[in-house]
Amino acid sequence: MDLEHQDVKYLPGVGPKRAKLLADELHVCTLHDLLYCFPYKHIDRTRLYYVHELTADMPYVQIRGQILSFDVEGEGRKRRLVAHFTDGQGIVDLVWFNGIKYVMSAYKTRTDYIVFGRPNAFNGRINIAHPDVEPADSLRLNAMGMQPYYNTTDKMKRAGLNSRSIEHFTATLFESLKSEIPETLPAYLVKSLQMVSLDEALRHIHYPTCAEDLRKASFRLKFEELFYIQLNILRYTRDRRNRYRGNVFTRVGALFHGFYEEKLPFELTGAQKRVIREIRRDMGSGRQMNRLLQGDVGSGKTLVALMSMLIALDNGFQACIMAPTEILAEQHYATFCQMLSGLPVRVELLTGTVKGKRRQGILEGLEQGDVQILVGTHAVLEDTVRFKSLGMVVIDEQHRFGVAQRARLWTKNVRPPHVLVMTATPIPRTLAMTLYGDLDVSVIDELPPGRKPIQTIHQFDNRRESLYRGLRAQLNQGRQAYVVYPLIKESEKMDIKNLEEGYEQLCHDLPEYKISRVHGKMKAAEKEAEMQDFISGKTQILVATTVIEVGVNVPNASVMVIENAERFGLAQLHQLRGRVGRGADQSYCILVTKFQLSADTRKRIQIMTETNDGFEIAEADLKLRGPGDLEGTQQSGVAFSLRLADLARDGQIVQLARNMAESVLDADPNCAAEKNEILWKQLAKLRKTIVDWSAIS
């Protein structure tokens, strides 16, 4: 049977109407899709209980016996049907609060049934409300083993298509299969990892006979998913390495040394030194660098970027750094100009607001090679931006960019430039291996010395006075503060109103201080002026939406107040908090929330108050939200293509899959051996269904 092309509607019991629902609601169109429509849980129906064993704290149980009689009890809304059920040793009440007529006509007394439900205590007795009742002799499905539960939607339920129906379909399908489902992994792999065959795995993922079966099936299927992802990434990476030679930067010359010896205002941290060494090694190796630099907020990535760019310059090439917001690009520009002052380097800033003659001058300078460092936003991607010889590209806060945008930078030079992507959103290792599996990873795991951990405090929004007391104490010592409001796109107007109101209130309540404000809807020039007032210390408080989230650096700021903190995710809270604590003084982050909080929000706030460690927060975030919601995962589509594996929980299998993929490719780089034929077939098939998630940069 050709499972992949056989329409599910021809399966007995399905038909065109239900087939359409399955397709619309669950994307199940073919028999193959049905096989891969996995249950989300199983309920153990291997054990029958006696009525006298039941207690109210048990989860689902099943009992076998007969209904002795029915009674309708109670009045009005409390009217209920009670069936007195016995297993010959004890009696338990089965209770229905609705569908009374149906139940009375469907079930008979003196007939053997299997009853399945959750025991409750009521008036000192045990009953089971709304149980599943099935004739004991018609249970041809797995009702006595581990019963699968499938996801369904409201629309399906309204049409009477529930988990039980899908169970019938999958059971029918397995019964009708005449031969084994063909294997999709090379036999030697299955054997060496002592995995079950695909046929067995698929049968047992739906219908295990015990928990151990289910575990083996799930391991095999998870491994396979992750293995093909890794194989694809690694093949792509190896191929790219062979295809693209990198510019070889052998010289570490006058600019790098001049900067290091004369301009650098502080000692590099050990981690910064190590990462710069890694980058130098890459750029001198003859292959093109593709490196991800992870480092917590405030760990000093900008400096690493600058020094790496200087190496490109020392070798006669140009360099470019791209940032996600104008404010950030402007700030990098200012930092670079200041740090490089006195050295013969021409740095220019290119954003959407740089126009006319000035823009023309920059573009010409780039083509002639006079502009050596270009700092900019997406504007640098435009076709009119052409370099004489671009040797190195840095992408800051890379998770803010799409895959396609990053890829365009590659084409700015005949030979692709070396690429360094930087992120302050820490990514747990297993996720990084999958998302950025084709990149080499460097980590700055050390903050510059003398930083005091930021103190994070949770405060309910009805306690303004105590918030102001804290603020005044800091501001009166000459420090500065941020007050941030969430910005949610759907109701941008409302959010700006929140911000404006908050601003008015602050002006009213703290009249002795000067206050700036910025939000995304302001004109660039206006925004810049307000930012500048804050950076130069003319104003003491900056009221802002999340436009300041990434990268802004004002070391004198020591307080970060986050309003409506319940509306921010963990990663964002951590990013925002990272705006303070950049000097040597004690800094504070105040999370202001309403009083009523969901359990998840409370957990988030708790994590924030307990740790400053970005990696710990990222792990917690991954667990709370699942990988599909993390920034960077959505655009890549990886999380969506996984049916079973969970990047948060299956870290060990990710690692195993990667190791196996490596060793397969080491032994047979082109998968040309006969035993590897199956790999090609599977990769080709998968590529059709999965977005191109391997091309990250």
299 forms part of the interface with ligand ADP (CB under 6 A): yes
308 with 392: CB under 8 angstroms? yes
Rg of the chain's alpha carbons, rounded to an integer? 31
CB 400 within 8 A of CB 575: no
One of 163, 170, 237, 272 touching ligand ADP (CB under 6 A) = 272
Residue 221 or 307 having the CB closest to ligand ADP: 307
Please provide the size of the chain in residues: 697
Contact 325, 547 (CB under 8 A): yes
Taking the C-alpha atoms of residue 92 and residue 614, their distance in angstroms, rounded to an integer, is 54
Q: How far apart are the first and last CA of the chain?
A: 41
Decide if 247 contacts 419 (C-beta within 8 A). no
What is the DSSP code (8-state) at residue 596? -
Find all residues with CB under 8 Å of 538, minimum gap 6, and list them. Answer: 514
The answer to the question of residue 39 lying near ligand ADP (CB under 6 A) is no
Min dist CB 258 to Mg ion, Å, is 24
Q: Where would I find the H helices in 207-293? A: 211-243, 254-258, 270-284
Q: How far is the CB of 545 from ligand ADP (least distance, A)?
A: 20
Of 39, 186, 284, 298, the one binding ligand ADP by CB under 6 A: 298
Longest dimension (CA), the chain: 99
CA angle 239, 241, 244 (to 5 degrees): 105
557 binds ligand ADP (CB under 6 A): no
The only residue of 551, 581, 614, 627 in contact with Mg ion, by rule CB under 5 A: 551
Q: Is 300 a residue that touches ligand ADP (CB under 6 A)? A: yes
Encoded tokens for 299: 């760990």
Residue 600: Cβ within 10 Å count: 11
Residue 66 binding result from ligand ADP, Mg ion, none, given CB thresholds of 5 to 8 Å by partner type: none
Does residue number 554 form part of the binding site for ligand ADP (CB under 6 A)?
A: no
- Given a contact cutoff of 8 angstroms between Cβ atoms, the answer to whether 582 and 612 are in contact is no
- Compute how many residues bind Mg ion; rule: CB under 5 A: 1
One residue of 86, 389, 498, 553 binding ligand ADP per CB under 6 A: 553
Residues 418-447 that bind ligand ADP (CB under 6 A): 424
Q: Closest CB to ligand ADP belongs to which residue?
A: 300
- State yes or no: residue 579 binds ligand ADP (CB under 6 A): no
Q: How far is the CB of 331 from Mg ion (least distance, A)?
A: 9
- Which listed residue (303, 328, 420, 592) binds ligand ADP by CB under 6 A? 303
Subset of 512-551 contacting ligand ADP (CB under 6 A): 551
| CA trace torsion 650, 651, 653, 655 (10° rounding) | 170
d(CA 611, CA 468): 24
Q: Does 300 bind Mg ion (CB under 5 A)?
A: no
Instruction: Note whether 339 binds ligand ADP by CB under 6 A.
Output: no
By beta carbon distance, the residue nearest Mg ion is 551
Q: Which is nearer to Mg ion, 297 or 559 (CB)?
A: 297
* Binding status of residue 119 toward Mg ion by CB under 5 A: no
SS3 assignment, position 429 = helix
- Smallest gap from residue 578 Cβ to Mg ion (A): 9
**Region binding Mg ion by CB under 5 A among candidate stretches 138-146, 158-166, 469-477, 548-556:** 548-556
Q: Cβ of residue 297: shortest distance to Mg ion, in angstroms?
A: 7
Q: Whole-number minimum distance, CB 447 to ligand ADP, in Å?
A: 8
On whether the CB atoms of residues 113 and 107 are closer than 8 A, the answer is yes
Pick one of Mg ion, ligand ADP, none as the site partner of residue 555 (Cβ within 5 to 8 A by kind): ligand ADP
Site for ligand ADP contains 612 (CB under 6 A):
no
Q: What's CA 118's distance to the chain center, in Å?
A: 36
Positions that interact with Mg ion (CB under 5 A):
551
Positions that interact with ligand ADP (CB under 6 A):
266-269, 272, 295, 297-303, 424, 448, 551, 553, 555, 582
